[in-house]
């Protein structure tokens, strides 16, 4: 299971709150399952209030940076502005990377809730 330190969790929540009612999204990197780097990405989904699609250029740049700074890709995150932090059907359908975590920031509760989902290998 990956770990996300408190100050980065606060950053994820802040990103989610800025983008609401749209879902925010981004990429998490670090070493030994400990997240230390967050890449904020653009959500280019057709219906960004209920799904997310990481901008291809943002993802490419993040992946290159992860290599450049010697980190590992640890996960993707996105927000659920009004829903629980459970994986939606769309989230499962779009989980192309089965060896990394899917982190969801839910703004449906006060305080916001962050959950880490790790899918079984495909």
Q: Give φ, ψ of 53 to 5 degrees.
A: -145, 115
CA distance 2 to 75: 8
Nearer CB in complex with Zn ion: 50/71: 50
Q: Which residue is nearest to Zn ion (CB)?
A: 91
**Residue written as tokens 């839910």?**
106
The nearest distance, CB 49 to Zn ion, in angstroms, is 11
Closest by CA to 16, choosing from 8, 5, 24, is 24
Closest by CA to 30, choosing from 55, 6, 3, is 3
Nearer CB in complex with Zn ion: 34/86: 86
The nearest distance, CB 83 to Zn ion, in angstroms, is 7
Nearer CB in complex with Zn ion: 58/91: 91
The nearest distance, CB 61 to Zn ion, in angstroms, is 23
- Give the residues lining the site for Zn ion (CB under 5 A): 88, 91
């Amino acid at each position: 299971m990956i770990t996300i330190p408190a100050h980065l969790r606060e950053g994820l929540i802040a990103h989610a709150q800025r983008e609401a009612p749209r879902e925010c999204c981004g990429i998490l990197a670090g070493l030994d399952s400990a997240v230390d780097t967050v890449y904020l990405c653009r959500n280019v989904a057709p219906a960004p209030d209920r799904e997310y699609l990481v901008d291809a250029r943002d993802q490419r740049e993040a992946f290159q940076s992860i290599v450049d700074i010697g980190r590992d890709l640890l996960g993707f995150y996105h927000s659920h502005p009004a829903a629980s932090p459970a994986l939606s059907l769309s989230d499962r359908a779009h989980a192309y990377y089965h060896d990394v975590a899917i982190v969801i920031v839910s703004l449906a509760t006060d305080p916001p809730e962050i959950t880490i989902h790790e899918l079984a290998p495909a």
